[in-house]
Amino acid sequence: MVESNSRGATGGDPRWERVLIEKLATESLKEQRRARRWGIFFKFLLFAYLAVLLVLSYPKWLPESGKDGEGHTALVKLDGVIVDGGKAGADQVNEGLKNAFEDENTKGVVLSINSPGGSPVQSGRIYEEVLRLRKEHPDIPVYAVIGDICASGGYYVAAAADRIYADRASLVGSIGVRYDGFGFVDAMGKLGIERRLLTAGENKALLDPFLPLKPGQEVHMQGLLDEIHEQFIDRVRTGRGDRLKDEPGLFSGLVWSGERAVALGLVDELSDAQTVAREVVGAETIKDFTEKKALLERFAERLGSAFASGLWSLGASGLR
């Protein structure tokens, strides 16, 4: 009875145990090969990604174009909003400027600016550092070259250069100061929300968005903005001197095209970084001194961006 049941379960094949073992061994080998192939694939992928990161960080370890001992034009980029800790912050830009001026083969420095502005404190620090380095290295000129936009704090910095160049379509100017905020007083009343705030000092809740703006506080803030605006104007007048034209609205916050900015004295000539290096500095080879973040920090940022992009791709594919 037992023998009959065994044959029925295995299709009547007396060698069923051997066949089963062979199938298990075959599947095990297939699984091992599959795991090995995936392992090789992911190792290759990691190696390729690290190789790309090393190439992206080439200024730190690959030789620059041109021979050692030849003169070059040093390039420092100020790109983006000027904020503390950002890539256009004072610490980042000033470090690049310092290294550019101290290089023994630097014949001139091009400060490439593409910025809508930002912090007046950070802009002022870069402005002062440019003046300090110019004084310390009188034989090395520094030229500001404007990209798409050089407004507000960006122009604050540019005014410290020996000369300013721009494209005819660049946006230049915005010599002014602004403060942004919102008020939610009426909205809170309609929603039946009561603001509870205790302070020591009658103006400690200055510009609180949930409280009405007091006339005295508005006057105080306007005076503060006017004071910083005057500081900005003084820096521009000091840097540009008699090149500035007596134009109504020059310091009103308006922006102009690069071509119009030349006529107003805000810009000296229309040109680009390569032309300035070749025809003004006289050293066509450009060496980039823009300070870059540490490799591991950039790796983490790129990994995070890639991960977020991957999640978005998965989500988008699921929506289709």
User: Nearest 5°: phi and psi at 12?
Assistant: 85, 10
Q: How many helices (DSSP H) and strands (DSSP E) are in the chain? A: 10, 8
Do 47 and 168 fall into the same domain? no
Residue 62 confidence (pLDDT)? 40
Do 51 and 85 fall into the same domain? no
Lookup: tokens for 203: 């103006």
Residue-number span of the structural domain to which 14 is assigned:
2-57+298-310
Do 128 and 77 fall into the same domain? yes
Residue 155 in 3-state DSSP?
helix
Do 287 and 302 fall into the same domain? no
Do 90 and 48 fall into the same domain? no
Determine the Cα–Cα distance for residues 69 and 58; give it in Å rounded to an integer. Answer: 20
Residue 295 confidence (pLDDT)? 47
Residue 315 lies in a domain: no
First-to-last alpha carbon distance for the chain, in angstroms, is: 59
Residue 208 lies in a domain: no
Residue 137 confidence (pLDDT)? 96
Residue 5 confidence (pLDDT)? 47
Q: How far does Cα 220 stand from its chain's mean position?
A: 33
Determine the Cα–Cα distance for residues 220 and 167; give it in Å rounded to an integer. Answer: 39
Do 31 and 173 fall into the same domain? no
- Looking at the 3D structure of the chain, how many domains does it have? 2
Residue 216 confidence (pLDDT)? 87
Residue 147 lies in a domain: yes
Walk along the chain (320 residues) in steps of 10 and give the mean pLDDT of each run.
46 67 77 78 71 57 50 96 94 96 96 95 96 96 97 96 97 91 77 82 82 85 93 95 92 95 96 96 94 58 49 41
Q: How far does Cα 268 stand from its chain's mean position?
A: 27
The per-residue DSSP string of 198-250 comes to: --SSTTTTTT-TTSPPPHHHHHHHHHHHHHHHHHHHHHHHHHHGGGS---TTT
Q: How far does Cα 108 stand from its chain's mean position?
A: 24
Do 251 and 129 fall into the same domain? yes
Do 142 and 27 fall into the same domain? no
Residue 248 lies in a domain: yes
The per-residue DSSP string of 106-130 comes to: EEEEEEEEEE--B-HHHHHHHHHHH
Residue 166 lies in a domain: yes
Do 10 and 34 fall into the same domain? yes
Determine the Cα–Cα distance for residues 147 and 170; give it in Å rounded to an integer. Answer: 6
Residue 13 confidence (pLDDT)? 59
Residue 54 confidence (pLDDT)? 63
pTM of this prediction exceeds 0.85: no
